[in-house]
Amino acid sequence: MRNINYLFSIANLFFCLLLSAYCLLVVCSSCGSKFSQKQNEKAVARVGDAYLYSSVLKDLFSKDMDKKDSAEVVRKYINNWVRETLLLQQAEKNLTDEKKDFEKRVEDYRKSLITYEYESELVKQKLDTLVSDEEIQKYYEENKSNFELKDNIIKVVYVKVRKNAPKVDKVKEWYRSDVQKDKDALANYCYQYAENFFLDDNTWLLFEDVLKEIPMKLYDKEAFLQNNRHLETQDSAHYYFVDIKGFMTKNSISPLSFEKTNIHSILLNKRKVELIKQMREDIYNEALKTKSFEVYE
């Protein structure tokens, strides 16, 4: 299901591009009036039948500009105007009248964006954003096949310390331990001395993200996960300690805890779509009841 916000953000961007192109047509047309229409004004450049007049340049200068800076500003402006006007004239020669009809396309997108803004306000006011764990669990169970892992994930304890850090030998003991006092000792140590660490071994992480933190290349990641629980390595300045508490390989069904945020977003988006659909239906039915529209045979 495509996110409705994403679709309308694309429409919004396209509308702005169309509007910019339309404004460019207007500006170039005003700057490019034929010389005969401004007999008393000096032209500074011409492209075909389009002229750029000196009056356009006067707003380019600030009071503190010297002559050299002013001349450079004028040169760049004229060069840009020539390039844009050449492109515009080339486009006008080669595009069909239908494709040059920006007014209709801009109007169509204007209507879409007005509708979108209204619907967005409605969603802000009326959408119930509370999603229960039961709803998330139910959706997960009914759609498990949609949650196939695209990457390997792991539960992990990870610690990075400098080689000159104190008690590194104790870190080697603590990071493997499941004893609570050792976990507490490791946490206290990491907050004081570790350069980087992750100790929440109940949270699933992408294995690829963990590997980015370690100076080691693995060519068969699945085989590594199936045959290793602990990893210790080093570079010139640091020791790296990794204890893999659990793993799931890609193409297996993703665990609920890893998908919870994703499912929450899916359910909210479904509610949003239903709310907008119902709103549109209500508007139509109300107009039908009050005879606010007619369809002629």
**Is there a contact between 112 and 18 (Cβ–Cβ < 8 Å)?**
no
Banded model confidence at residue 204, pLDDT cuts 50, 70, 90: very high
Least confident of 50-64, 177-191, 258-272: 50-64
Contacts of 196 (CB under 8 A, 6+ apart): 158, 159, 160, 213
AA identity, residue 133: D
Residue owning tokens 């606010």 = 292
The predicted structure's pLDDT at residue 69: 73
The predicted structure's pLDDT at residue 58: 77
Residue owning tokens 């009326």 = 126
Distance (Å, whole) CA 242 – CA 94: 62
The percent of residues above 90 in pLDDT, for the chain, comes to 62
The Cβ-side half-sphere exposure at 188, using a 13 Å CA radius, reads 9
Over residues 62-120, the pLDDT tens digits come to: 767 777 777 888 889 899 999 999 998 898 888 877 777 788 888 899 999 999 999 99
Q: Whole-model pTM?
A: 0.64
Dihedral of the CA atoms 66, 67, 72, 73 (nearest 10)?
Answer: 70
From the list 276, 292, 284, the residue with the least C-alpha distance to 125 is 276
The ranges assigned to domains in the chain are 4-104, 127-143+255-289, 149-248
The predicted structure's pLDDT at residue 297: 77
- The helix/strand/coil state of 261 is helix
The percent of residues above 70 in pLDDT, for the chain, comes to 86
Over residues 18-48, the pLDDT tens digits come to: 455 555 554 444 444 434 445 567 888 999 8
Q: Which fold has domain 149-248?
A: Chitinase A; domain 3 (3.10.50)
**Is there a contact between 201 and 155 (Cβ–Cβ < 8 Å)?**
yes
State the chain's mean pLDDT as an integer: 86
